[in-house]
Amino acid sequence: MTLIERDIAAAVRAHGCVRPPWVEFPDRARFTSFWYMGAGEWHTAVWTAWWEGQPKAPASRLAYFRRFPPPTGWLDWAATAVWSELDGDGEAVDEAVRRLESAGLGSFAAWSAWMSRDDEDAG
């Protein structure tokens, strides 16, 4: 068993799934070094490995994010997890977030404003 498989199994035993980053580390801001090294990076790797083994149907994926609604700053991350074909340029990601909003999760306008904020407001 690999380390990732071990941590997936532990998360599934504890929570029934691997929880998304904002649930696992609620006090960690998006786009900080935490997510690119150490515990944040590892959790994202474990989550991704687990997610790739989950049903691909958007309805199943949306059900997961209804259980764990993404905060505004994570809407693009969640949206492109549901519709991975839209994980690319800005227009494609915008479309993914609009789809998420249409599914009742988040606000495209709030996400756009959040993404346009000044770096000092990055929390």
**Structural domain boundaries of the chain?**
1-54, 56-123
Confidence of residue 86 (pLDDT cuts 50, 70, 90): very high
Q: For residues 108 and 18, give the distance between their C-alpha atoms in angstroms, rounded to a whole number.
A: 26
Q: For residues 86 and 97, give the distance between their C-alpha atoms in angstroms, rounded to a whole number.
A: 10
Indicate if the alpha-carbon torsion angle 56, 45, 12, 5 is positive or negative: positive
Residue 89 confidence (pLDDT): 84
- Written as six digits, the tokens of 105 are 């999760």
- Confidence check: pLDDT of 122 > 60: no
pTM score, whole prediction: 0.92
**Maximum separation of any 2 CA atoms in the chain, in Å:** 44
Confidence of residue 90 (pLDDT cuts 50, 70, 90): confident
Q: For residues 47 and 28, give the distance between their C-alpha atoms in angstroms, rounded to a whole number.
A: 16
The answer for residues whose C-beta is within 8 angstroms of residue 101's C-beta and 6 or more apart is: 75, 107, 108
